[in-house]
Amino acid sequence: MDERVNKDMAGFAAAIDYDAELMLRVKGGDNASFGVLLEKHRCPVIHFLYRMVQNQAVAEELAQEVFLRVFRSRGTYERTAKFTTWLFRIATHLALNSLRDGKHERMQESLDVEVDDQPVRQVSDRRPTVEESMVYQARLGEVREAIATLPQKQRAAVLMHKYEEMEYSQIATALSCSESAVKSLLFRAYETLRARLAHMA
């Protein structure tokens, strides 16, 4: 059992190092490696940005700026943190700036529309009925709407914690704050969400 756990941990570490290794190759002039990183992380970044700004066109525009900044920073890149932590720090900074400067008006888009979502994992072969799908979409829409009404930093923390499965230390780096501040943000956010979604329990 221990041997298998060690192998799993080693595999996980290798996966993390792979992104950093690709970025180091980009730093060395290998533009093809940048294409690999772009292909791998573009959808998750757009998905995160969409949940932050609630506008697909703006999310895609900001995502382009994220990867442009990544490429421009290739010469000074150092493997001091996980690549995704660095990436989401850039994305969070741009999203918060976009929301603060008010240059982009939100388009009235339905919150239950999937935007570059990851495929839904099927736990069984049984396909949901039409009624089950409608209930799921309605509940999903309520959750998204509740998250969208959170204060900006709380929303960013929740999205990184819940959807990107980032650790407190990674979120702290992305938000340029302490881990205790992240825990406080998440505590307040989840308390608010729990109250607003109590009827769904």
At 121-158, the pLDDT tens digits run 444 445 667 666 677 677 788 888 899 999 999 999 99
Q: Residue 72: which of 27, 16, 17, 24 has the closest Cα?
A: 27
Within a domain: 139: yes
| Same domain as 195, residue 96 | no
Q: What is the CATH number of the domain that holds 146?
A: 1.10.10.10
Within a domain: 126: no
Q: What is the mean pLDDT of residues 154-174?
A: 93
Total domains in the fold of the chain: 2
Give the type of residue at 99. Answer: L
Which residues, 6+ apart, have CB-to-CB distance to 33 below 8 Å? 22, 23, 25, 26
pLDDT digits (tens, 9 = 90+) for 66-118: 999 999 999 999 888 889 999 999 999 999 999 988 755 544 343 334 444 44
Q: Last residue of some domain: 89, 106, 123? A: 106
Q: Last residue of some domain: 72, 106, 140? A: 106
Q: Give the per-residue pLDDT at 30.
A: 93
Q: Which residue range is the domain that position 68 belongs to?
A: 1-106
Q: Which of 3-7, 13-17, 119-123, 172-176: highest mean pLDDT? A: 172-176
- Lowest mean pLDDT across 124-133, 164-173, 185-194: 124-133
Q: What is the CATH number of the domain that holds 38?
A: 1.10.1740.10
Within a domain: 30: yes
Compute the distance between CA of residue 74 and CA of residue 27 in angstroms, rounded to an integer.
5
Task: Tell me, yes or no, if the pTM score tops 0.85.
Answer: no
| Same domain as 200, residue 166 | yes
Compute the distance between CA of residue 74 and CA of residue 178 in angstroms, rounded to an integer.
26
Compute the distance between CA of residue 179 and CA of residue 183 in angstroms, rounded to an integer.
6
Report whether 50 contacts 115 (CB < 8 A).
Answer: yes
| Same domain as 137, residue 99 | no
| Same domain as 85, residue 34 | yes
* Chain Cα centroid distance, residue 177: 17
